[in-house]
Amino acid sequence: MADIKINLLPWREELREQRKKEFLNVLVGVIVFAGVIIFAVDRFYNAEIDTQISRNNFLTAEIKTLEDKIQEIQLLQQKRNELLSRMKVIQELQGNRPIIVRVFDELARKLAERVFYTSVTYQNKQVEITGVAESNNRISSQLRNFAESDWFDKPNVTAIKAEPAYGPQASEFQLQVEQTTPAAKKEVEQ
């Protein structure tokens, strides 16, 4: 009989080689697939980061714009307050103009006989008067005239000094009187 030789080793070796190739193919496929997934995830997150950075830049620009507007509004409010205070001062001056005229008119009307003023100072509703009188009785008369006036209150002599240059009994005096308005004085009395 003829010798039949069956060699099983090459078949197993071929199968092993085929399985090895399949394994390498699957391994390469898995590595490629994993690389594609990693690349896709990387691109997705980079796109998200870029989107967030652009949003942040937009918000930063808008915040800067709003801060500029807030600063402009504050400057406008400051100018508005300055204008309001100026308007208030002007209104007070306009409102006090007739009062000042009336005060000086009243000073002239309440001037006692043989008394004359050498200086009159008006500050914060306080009138300081320096003058010369023929005698101390004339100074008392001047104080009574101020006390009877609707425009003056609390007359007070602060200094009296003999002044012989104006006469034998003449005196130089200083007095203070508080300026009021007749309406304010009536409100205080009620």
Domain for residue 145, yes or no? Answer: yes
CATH number of the domain within which 115 lies? 3.30.70.2830
Total domains, the chain: 1
Please list the residues that pair with 121 across neighbouring strands: 128
Length of the chain: 190
Which tens digit of pLDDT belongs to each residue from 104-135?
777 777 777 777 788 888 777 788 888 888 77
Cβ atoms 53, 59 nearer than 8 A: no
For residue 153, the enclosing domain spans: 110-189
Question: Rounded to two decimals, what is the model's pTM?
Answer: 0.46
Domain for residue 155, yes or no? Answer: yes
Domain for residue 171, yes or no? Answer: yes
In the chain, which residues have pLDDT < 70?
Answer: 1-2, 5-9, 95-97, 183-190
CA distances from 110 to 20, 148, 153, 170 (A): 130, 9, 13, 19
Domain for residue 151, yes or no? Answer: yes
pLDDT of res. 91: 82
Handedness of CA 17, 18, 23, 27 (dihedral sign): positive
pLDDT of res. 13: 80
